[in-house]
């Protein structure tokens, strides 16, 4: 039943058909469902859709399809925080009690701790009743009540453990500082300036053209509709949806200092913390270097992140020394985007653009 739909990008004169075919074969070999974009020096080299955006209506995925991006949302959140710091509205060294009055031990936890997963705060996705509580409309403040009174797992700043709760609190801080919703801040500071027309806070009830449906496979390898998630629940930790093209525009602008100063960008991609198991070396919203699950054997200066949410998988990897960006968005839960991006990058290592 699985079919492949191909849409070629314009402007590929120096990209040989042989490497295109090789990349396409790699994607097909993974039975990938979603959209793939590869850019070199800011130019889109490979951009195709695979499988179905909606299986019930046989609507194909294309380069214009919009997918939930899960934890790739965290990069937008981190950028928004640094933009607010540039505006003088906060400082990453500030204790969070300054913006979330009454938060337990908020005088010892800083915004920097939240950005780098070094706060020690409990992980909201570990809750046994997660499937139930994430079905109800929520706000960052309401979600915060589930974990704020739990004991810290470690002294803030002493360890690094990836925790979605940190970025939910960052969303609350953004809203408290600005007096606007997280969505409004992103629209004003990122979406509109960069003309990201296919990037949205993924409200369940909104009509969003080209939005893919989310799926998972059961033990019999059958496609099923994904579990419902009220998207006000993940908020600044994972509530955005975007197309591969828009994400490429965002990352290209980010790494060329169009939305952050060079000082802020340096802080964003600086390795601030490393987990004891060696699986995470984290900046602000990004995993930095090859000492991260999914980035092993990559270039030393690799920058990336992966995301997952019910029905969707996502991956972004940037290799600065080779000026390559790989973006993978899938509307199939638990897609191994890490393995696919590794293989795609490996196929490009010896490639040079045709002049």
Strand order in the sheet with 200-201: 67-68, 240-242, 200-201
pTM for the full predicted model:
0.93
Q: What percent of the chain has pLDDT over 70?
A: 91
* pLDDT for the residue numbered 4: 39
Q: Which residues pair with 163 in a beta bridge?
A: none
The helix or strand, by DSSP H or E, that contains position 168, with its residue range, turns out to be: helix 164-178
Closest CA to 75 of 277, 214, 246: 246
Answer yes or no: is pLDDT of 353 > 80.
no
Between 295 and 4, name the one with better pLDDT. 295
First to last CA, the chain: 40
Contacts of 262 (CB under 8 A, 6+ apart): none
Q: Which residues pair with 82 in a beta bridge?
A: none
Residue 350 confidence class, pLDDT cut points 50, 70, 90? low
Answer yes or no: is pLDDT of 63 > 90.
yes
SS3 239: coil
Closest CA to 265 of 72, 113, 85: 85
For residue range 21-34, list pLDDT tens digits in order.
999 999 999 999 99
Q: Are 48 and 35 in contact (CB under 8 A)?
A: yes
Q: CA 145 to CA 158: how far, in whole Å? A: 24
The domain made up of 17-348 has a fold known as: Beta-lactamase (3.40.710)
Answer yes or no: is pLDDT of 15 > 60.
no
* pLDDT for the residue numbered 272: 93
* pLDDT for the residue numbered 119: 98
**Span 46-52, mean pLDDT?**
98
Closest CA to 348 of 45, 63, 50, 49: 45
Q: CA 148 to CA 67: how far, in whole Å? A: 31
Q: Considering only 3-17, 207-221, 315-329, 335-349, which range has the smallest mean pLDDT?
A: 3-17
Closest CA to 268 of 26, 1, 74: 74
Q: How many CB atoms lie within 10 A of CB 263?
A: 12
* pLDDT for the residue numbered 229: 97
Residue 277 confidence class, pLDDT cut points 50, 70, 90? confident
For residue range 235-267, list pLDDT tens digits in order.
999 999 999 999 999 999 999 999 999 999 999
Answer yes or no: is pLDDT of 315 > 50.
yes
- Cα-based distances in Å from 229 to 130, 214, 234: 10, 11, 9
Q: Which residues pair with 287 in a beta bridge?
A: 282, 304
SS3 234: coil
| DSSP labels, 85-151 | HHTTS--TTSBGGGTSTT-TTTTT-BHHHHHTT-S-PPPGGG-TTHHHHTTS---HHHHHHHHTTSP
SS3 154: coil
Q: CA 321 to CA 174: how far, in whole Å? A: 33
Q: What percent of the chain has pLDDT over 90?
A: 83
Answer yes or no: is pLDDT of 91 > 60.
yes
* pLDDT for the residue numbered 215: 98
**Span 339-347, mean pLDDT?**
92
Residue 349 confidence class, pLDDT cut points 50, 70, 90? confident
Q: Which residues pair with 95 in a beta bridge?
A: 110
SS3 288: strand
* pLDDT for the residue numbered 135: 96
* pLDDT for the residue numbered 296: 62
Whole-number average pLDDT of the chain: 92
């Amino acid at each position: 039943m699985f079919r492949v739909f191909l849409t070629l990008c314009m402007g590929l004169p120096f990209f040989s058909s042989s490497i295109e075919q090789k990349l396409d074969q790699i994607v097909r070999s993974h039975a990938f469902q979603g959209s793939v974009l590869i850019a070199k020096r800011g130019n889109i080299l490979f951009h195709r859709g695979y499988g179905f955006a909606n299986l019930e209506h046989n609507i194909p995925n294309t380069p214009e399809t919009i997918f939930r991006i899960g934890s790739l949302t965290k990069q937008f959140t981190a950028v928004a925080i640094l933009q607010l710091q540039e505006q003088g509205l906060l400082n990453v060294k500030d204790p969070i009690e300054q913006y979330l009055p009454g938060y337990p031990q908020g005088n010892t936890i800083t915004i920097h701790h939240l950005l780098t997963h070094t706060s020690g705060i409990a992980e909201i996705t570990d809750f046994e009743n997660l499937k139930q509580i994430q079905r109800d409309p929520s706000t960052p403040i309401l979600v915060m009540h589930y974990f704020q009174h739990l004991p810290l797992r470690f002294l803030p700043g002493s360890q690094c453990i990836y925790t979605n709760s940190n970025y939910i609190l960052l969303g609350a801080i953004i809203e408290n500082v600005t007096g606007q919703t997280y969505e409004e801040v992103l629209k004003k500071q990122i979406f509109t300036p960069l003309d990201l027309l296919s990037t949205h806070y993924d409200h369940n009830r909104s009509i969003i053209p080209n939005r893919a449906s989310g799926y998972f496979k059961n033990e019999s390898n059958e496609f099923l509709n994904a579990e419902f998630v009220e998207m006000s629940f993940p908020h600044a930790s994972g509530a955005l949806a975007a197309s591969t093209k828009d994400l490429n525009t965002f990352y290209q602008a980010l790494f060329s200092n169009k939305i952050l100063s060079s000082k802020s960008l340096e802080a964003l991609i600086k390795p601030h913390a490393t987990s004891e198991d060696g699986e995470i070396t984290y900046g602000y919203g990004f995993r930095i270097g090859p000492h991260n699950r999914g980035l092993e054997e990559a270039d030393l200066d690799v920058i990336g992140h992966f995301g997952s949410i019910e029905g969707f998988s996502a991956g972004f990897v940037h290799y600065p020394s080779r000026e390559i960006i790989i973006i993978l968005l899938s509307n199939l839960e638990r897609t191994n985007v890490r393995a696919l991006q590794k293989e795609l990058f490996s196929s490009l290592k010896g490639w040079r653009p045709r002049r």
